[in-house]
Amino acid sequence: MIDVEQLSDPVVRTSVTAINAGDRAAFFATLASGATMADDGTERDLEEWVDREIFSANGHMEVESEGDEGRSLVVQYSNSTWGAMRTTWSFAVDGDRISRFETGQA
């Protein structure tokens, strides 16, 4: 596992730290206005998905590996709804904000 503090991309690092801390406001502060996301290839309403799958379900990421200069992660993701699963997360970063992320089962 990679310690979150060791993640290469500072914006992704801040986002993962916010998720693991259950800090919704800090997570949304990492997102660009109009940010989008997809889950298993399906476009989702970002705010609704994040609240359901992360913040109301105690989501937590343990990073196995990273690529693409820290913008692509393989993660052991767990939450109180689905339990633990191996997932991929990829982030499009524009300046100091995430403009899009995609996640899905690895």
Host H or E run for residue 92:
strand 83-94
pTM score above 0.85 = yes
Q: What is the number of domains present in the chain? A: 1
Write out the residue range of the structural domain in which residue 95 sits: 4-105
Q: Give the CATH number for residue 91.
A: 3.10.450.50
Residue 102 in contact with residue 37, Cβ under 8 Å?
A: yes
Extract the tokens encoding 98: 């995430």
DSSP character at residue 71: T
Give the pLDDT of residue 26. 98
DSSP 2-70: B-GGG-S-HHHHHHHHHHHHT-HHHHHHTEEEEEEEEETTEEE-HHHHHIIIIITTT-EEEEEEEEGGG
pLDDT tens-digit profile, the chain (106 residues):
999 999 999 999 999 999 999 999 999 999 999 999 999 999 999 999 999 999 999 999 999 999 999 999 999 999 999 999 999 999 999 999 999 999 999 9
Give the pLDDT of residue 54. 98
